[in-house]
Structures are given as structure tokens and as C-alpha cells.
Structure 1
Amino acid sequence: MIGELVPGSVVTEWRLDDAEPVALFPEEAAVVANAVARRQREFATVRLCARLALGRLGVPESPLTPGARGEPRWPVGTAGSMTHCDGYRAAAVARASDVVSLGIDAEPSGPLPDGVLERVSLPEERRHLGALAARAPEVSWERLLFSAKESVFKTWYPLTGRELDFDEATVEFSRDSATEAEDGTEDGGESGAGGTFTARLLVPGPVVGGTRREGFTGRWLARDGLVLTAIVLTR
């Protein structure tokens, strides 16, 4: 599914579970040596996805260990992003000559836990979500906002090496015209929902190609009990 949200220059791989055995590099195994079994399995499967995607770019296998913020450290000459949640693991990679930075995220559909929306959103975003929910209640807009902000951070951090708080970017969603037409159909629901989003940075943005970025644009999809978002900054 994540492949539907990115251009052809980006290679993706995904898995729905951790059934496939994965042999980690010693450096990777050390990262999760003290983690619970579930975390170890997710960590391994998402790296399997990343290796397969990198392999399709002709990049040999190597350890994919996290940096200080937990971000994957990609092989020289590549850019990428990983995500995992209940029922989905995915990686997206590209050549650095094609893509400056990218961020992907997947989340299970459903409301956020109590109090989380207020911590991750601004008042204008909550009003925006309310208007969207009135028109398309079948989409988990709260989760989608959280996912979009995760994708924003994953795109931002490799460019800046700095934190970006949830209240330092504001996100607005649009729906594709095709999904607008599906409103009210008997078998509508999340399977047909998708569109674009715009993230406006409320702090000075990174300089990319000699130009300071004031925000990012991305795509979103809601299907099969998941919400997914992706941002790709191409060169």
C-alpha cells in the first residue's frame, strides 16, 4: 500500500506480520538485545523490508542501526524511511541523487488514546479535523493527523538534525476527487479514502537546494484498518 503514495524513484517493501525469519547483523541484534520479543520481531521485519528495497537499488546488505533519535542510518548514497505498527511494516528507499529526504508512517485506524490529540495538534487542526469528520466519518482523521506529523518529522530530521515538536507544524488534508465521489456508497469506508496533505512549518524550515522550505506536501491513504502517509522531497 505504501507504494501507492510515492513516486517511481522510490522503492518500497512491506509485510503484514513477522512470520518471515530474519537474520540480523550483530550490530542490529545488539540494539534490541534487551527488548521484548514483539519489539525484536518488528525491528527485524522492518529491516528485512529495507534490505529488500535497497537490494532493488543494487545496494549490498549492511547493518541498519539507529542514530541518536532512533532514525535509521542509511547506506551512503541513499535516503529512506521505515515504519511499523500493528499489522503493517514497511520501508521506502531511494537514491540520494533522486530524493533529498522522505518520511513514511503507518498507524492502525481508530481514535487516539484519551488526551493524545490535544498533545499532538493545534486548535485550528482540531477544527479542521472536525469539519472533515462531519463529511467523512469513516476516516480516522485523528490517527491520520498523528501519522502525517510522524512523516513530517521523519522528513525534517535528516535535513536538520533537530527536534520538531508537534506544535511546530500544522497539517491540512484534502481528499482525492475520486474518493469524494464514493461518499455515501454502501461499501465505501476507508478502503477508498485517500488524498494529499500540506504541512506548514511554524519554525524556520531547512534549506534544500538553496531554498528555505516553509513546509512539505505528502499523500495519505486509509484502507484495510490502516492509515498511511508519505512525504518525498525529490531533487
Structure 2
Amino acid sequence: MIERLLPAYVACADTHETGAEGAAGLYPEEAALIERSVDRRRHEFTAVRACARRAMSALGLPPAPVLRGHRGMPLWPEGTVGSMTHCDGYRAAVLARASDIRGLGIDAEPDETLPPDVWPAVSLPSERRRITPDADAPSPHWDRLLFSAKESVFKAWFPLTRIELDFAEADVRFHRDDDAAMEGTFTAELLRTAPGMPRVFEGTWLADKGFVVTAVTLPHV
């Protein structure tokens, strides 16, 4: 599913499996990161790293551990950029050569409305004027899609800046060709700056199979 949102030179791998697939293939240093985790977290961790290894193979790279840096940032093989996401029922990893693209960010969420207390915390007044959360509305649920889009923006931003980006520091607008389309694009206007970073991020979105999925790509200038 995630491959529908990204250029052909980005290697994509995903799964809808919910078990502990790939657990036997964890590297010792990866296993050490989750030795005290609950089973659900272990399943997510191992499954998404199995996807990461498939993406490496698609790029012609040998398998390698994916460890964690500051704030949980995935540490990819030298010369590559990537992103991972997981939620109940879906895990995905994407990877590209750093010579082809500057940055990547992906996120997947269940296609359902956000909890009422979360919505004000992740949205700007301008976004709340454009989007009204409605649990009974048909797919996509735009409040959840907004949350996902911001997650993708932050995942693309942070590895390049090492600067935290708050939910209130990106103003997101969605676009689609017609009212019935279940996919489209979005723009995120950043309300803070960092050296060498664009003020507007471009992304793509998709609603399918009970999920909303978003992706951001940062090309070389």
C-alpha cells in the first residue's frame, strides 16, 4: 500500500500481519532494545524491521540492524535515508539512496476519528476551521489524516535538523482531484525555520483497507 505514495526509486515493504513475524531474524543489538518490552511492542518492532530488511534487499543492500538514535530516530545504513511506521494491523518501511533523495517520512493510522482530547492538541485554529472531526463521517477521517500527515512531516524533518517540531508548528492543507477520491496530496507550511530546510513540505495521502497512510519526500535542492 505504501508504494502507491512514493517514487519508484524508493524501496517499500509493508505487511498486514499482526504476529511476531521476523522475530527470529533480529540482530542481538536490536533484540537488546526490546528485551523488557511487552509482547505487543516486541511484535511491532520485529515486524517493521523485517519490512526494513526487505526494503534493503530491494535496493541491493545486505541486511543490517536498524537501531535507534535520539528520540527513537531509526539509524539506517550509511548512504541511505528511510522511515518506518506501525499501527494495529499494518507495518511498513521505506528506504532510498541518499544520492536520490534528501529525506523521507511515512505514517499509517487507523481510519477513525481522533479521541476528542487529542484533536485540539495536534491541530491549529486554521486547521480546525477547515476540518470538523466526525466519528460517523465516511472515510477518510480528516482529523486522523491530519495527525498522520504531521507525523510524516516530523519524521522527514528531524533526521536533517535534530530539532523538535511541535504539532502546532505545521499548518497542513489537503488536496484531492474530486470529492470521491480516496487519495491525494497535501502541503505543510512550517511555522519555524531551520538552516537549509524548506518552509513548505509536499506530501501524498491515501485511505484504503481501514487505514490512512501519508508520505513526505524531500528532494535535493
Q: TM-score scaled by structure 2?
A: 0.93
CA distance in 1 between partners of 2:211 and 2:96 (Å): 24
Unmatched tracts of structure 2, length 5 or more: none
Q: CA deviation at 1:68?
A: 1.6
* Structure 2 equivalent of residue 49 of structure 1: 51
Compute the RMSD of aligned alpha carbons: 1.5
Identity %, equivalent residues = 54
Aligned residues: 216
Partner of 2:140: 139
State the 1:16 CA deviation.
Answer: 0.4
Note if contact 2:18-2:90 (Cα within 8 Å) is conserved in structure 1: no
Report matched runs for 1:1-235 at 5 Å: 1-19=1-19, 20-22=21-23, 23-130=25-132, 137-177=138-178, 180=179, 182=180, 192-207=181-196, 212-235=197-220
Contact 2:139–2:207 under 8 Å retained in 1: no
Find the aligned partners of 1:229 and 1:219 in 2 and give their Cα distance.
6
Does the 8 Å contact 1:79/1:102 carry over to 2? Answer: yes
Point out where structure 1 has 5 or more consecutive residues left out of the alignment. Answer: 183-191
For residues 5-24 of structure 1, the C-alpha deviation after alignment (integer angstroms, 9 at most, x for no partner) is: 00111010001024434321
* Cα pair 2:190 2:199 within 8 Å, conserved: yes
2:26 counterpart SS class: coil
1:206 Cα deviation after fit: 4.4
- Deviating 4+ runs (over 3 angstroms): none
Q: Distance in 1 between matches of 2:64 and 2:139?
A: 42
Q: Give the TM-score of the pair, scaled to structure 1.
A: 0.88
Deviations 1:118-172 (A, max 9, x none): 0011011011113x97xx7432111100000000100000110110000011100
Rounded to whole Å, the distance in 1 between the matches of 2:65 and 2:165 is 27
Shift of 1:110: 0.8
